A = this chain, B = another copy of it.
Amino acid sequence: MANQTAVRTQLNLIGLSKADYRGNPSTLCQGCGHNSIANQIISACYEMDILPETIVKFSGIGCSSKSPAYFLNRSFGFNGLHGRMPSLATGALFADCSLKGIGVSGDGDTASIGMGQFKHVVRRNMRLVYIIENNGVYGLTKGQFSATAEMGLTLKSQGTNPYMPVDIAWEALVGHATFVARSFAGDPKQVKELIKAALSHNGVAVIDIISPCVTFNNQDTTLHSYAWGKEHEVALHELSYVPPAEEITIDYEEGEDKEVILHDGSSVILKKLERAYDPTDRKAAMQVLEEANAKNILLTGLIYINTEQKSLVDIYNLPDTPLNRLPEYRIRPSRESIKQLNDMMF
């Protein structure tokens, strides 16, 4: 028995060890929130028995955008341009629609330079897990305000931020995202379960994760610090991902707790904490977000999900064979067709 358990912790159902999901050693600062998120991506994929080759990684530019090099070395990845990960991912994921995309971005990368592409990939409901490692600051360029920095935040040699912050979850919701979550790098379990749920969602899954920058924005009183997060996190629910075809062993109370069935047959169980919350209700989502702002809390959990809407690739009616594997005769019209064509060209 003991022996069996040991084996089970080493290999997952598809026979891979956790090491098969690792990336290169991180070159980020020690304690950076981004590292902890990378680890949860590794764990989530390992525990979900996902073949790493079926994931494709994307990022923009920033410390956060370096992270994809630190997980899933066996997955393809593309570190694109600052603020323009979404378009890259959109194009690439058409190549083989059986692949799952994980995009990692920063708050600068998404909410400053990347606002346009962020809003539009959300609107298109591209099948992409879109993780924002949100630290309220530009890490890689050494500590300028990003668009998510709170009004009044004072940073070394930058003065005081005079603007209202961009709220990424709010933006996603208003922009018709079909999966909106917020989490906290200091709450690894929740991060992991959310990533799992996101990977099973058929559409864009925006996860706004407060991920402290220990070097440039980790004062205890500021909204993207570990200390603040630990003290102010309020989870909407306790979230557990249940793989497809697995029996639900978590005990939960119907009516009170909530189960959401995902595209691939898996589900998330949302155990009620302070109050019942239905993440399929867009109005409710707006209410809690607005409340969170008013009460100055770090509200985390699955804020909104819509499992009905078609994802971008669904509307294109593509064959099962990935487009990038189609042989010549399936992508070049027949020799005969050219005659008909010319006849049409008056």
Contacts and interface: CB of A to CB of B under 8 A. Distances in A.
Interface band, chain A:
20 to 34
Contacts of A147: 120, 123
A11 interface: no
B162 A176 contact: no
Interface stretch (A64-72, A163-171, A226-234): A163-171
A167 B171 CA distance: 12
A178 to B, nearest CB: 10
A292 interface: no
Interface stretch (A111-119, A130-138, A246-254): A111-119
A74 interface: no
A290 interface: yes
B123 A164 contact: yes
A170 B174 contact: yes
A1 interface: no
A278 to B, nearest CB: 16
Contacts of A113: 116
B175 A123 contact: no
Nearest to A293: B282
Interface in A171-220: 171, 174-176
Interface of A: 112-116, 119-120, 123-125, 147, 162-164, 166-167, 170-171, 174-176, 282-283, 286, 290, 310, 312, 315
6 contacts: A113-B116, A115-B120, A119-B166, A123-B166, A162-B315, A171-B174
